[in-house]
Structure 1
Amino acid sequence: MSDEFHMTVSIPTDDEGYILLQCEHCGTFFKVTPFDIEDGGVLHIFCPSCGLTSENYVTEDVIELAMRMIKNKVNDMIYDAFKDLERHNKRNSIIKFKAGKRPKHETEDPIRSGIEALEIANFSCCRRSAKIKPLLKMTGAYCPFCGVKNYEIE
């Protein structure tokens, strides 16, 4: 049995191809494209509201789904180990061991793109776009790709 396992959590895009992110400092939601996140020219993602960078922009929905998936996988691994122990102890053993029923899995509902009240803002400094709150678009926002405060957002 391997000590490692890999899981993938799929984060969906909205109709325009943006994924939802959340700043761990101020809690602001915003959206950028997966292409922009994976681009080697973008060193950090800045929050359009507070202008800070974060180690993690994953939303609570993604974390909750990942935790459910991990819990289900770990419960399966523990049950399989107990089942193996049950099989090995059946043969001429003084100690009897019964694994019992397989644990019930928690539901792993797919993530929805959510929060549609964001508007596309074009940042001329980086020639990229992001979806931000309409209020930030009016008052000025930090560019998610370079961190420059931009007051004239298209």
Structure 2
Amino acid sequence: MDDEIHMSISIPTDDDGYALLKCEYCGSFFKGTPADLQDDGVLNIFCPSCGLISDSYVTDDVLELAINMTTNLVNDMIYDAFKDLERHNRKNSIIKFKAGKKPHHEAEDPIRSGIEALEICTFPCCKRTAKIKPLLKMTGAYCPFCGVKNYEIE
């Protein structure tokens, strides 16, 4: 029996091909293209707002979906184990065991790209683009790919 369980969550992109990210430190949202975010040349992703490197840029929607998917899977596995125990204890057993009703599944709502009030900005230091808040575009933002503070963003 294989003890590993693999689950995947597809994170959608918006119409321009950008995926939504959230800084775990300041809570600021920004977007990057999957190609830029997964590029081996990019060692760390910096938050455009606070400039810090976060361990995870997972949004609350993705986290909630992952928790719900895991909860549903674990509940199904426990129910199946109890159902097997119920079947094996039916015949000539002193102890009777009932598995009960199948557990209720948590909603696994699909993820939406969300937050459309972000603008595409080209960072001259890396020649890459990201979507950031319009206010950051005016006041300056940290490049998500190298961490340099840019005051003149295109």
TM-score range, shorter chain: over 0.9
Report SS of the residue matched to 2:129: strand
Distance 2:34 2:94 in 1: 58
What residue number does 2:97 align with?
97
Report SS of the residue matched to 1:103: coil
Deviation, 1:106, is: 1.2
Report SS of the residue matched to 2:52: coil
Report SS of the residue matched to 1:136: helix
What residue number does 1:16 align with?
16
The correspondence of residues 1-154 of structure 1 with structure 2, limited to 5 A, is 1-154=1-154
Distance 1:5 1:91 in 2: 33
Deviation, 1:74, is: 0.5
Residue deviations 1:89-145 (CA, integer Å, cap 9, x gap) = 112211110111111111101000000000000011101000000000001000000
- The one-letter code matched in structure 2 to 1:15 is D
- The one-letter code matched in structure 1 to 2:142 is Y
Report SS of the residue matched to 1:10: coil
Q: Cα RMSD between the aligned structures? A: 0.8
- The one-letter code matched in structure 2 to 1:30 is F
TM-score for the superposition, normalised by structure 2:
0.98
Report SS of the residue matched to 1:96: coil
Residue deviations 1:70-99 (CA, integer Å, cap 9, x gap) = 110010000000000001111221111011
Using the aligned pairs only, state the percent identity.
77
Distance 1:147 1:101 in 2: 53
Distance 1:106 1:59 in 2: 19
Deviation, 1:6, is: 1.1
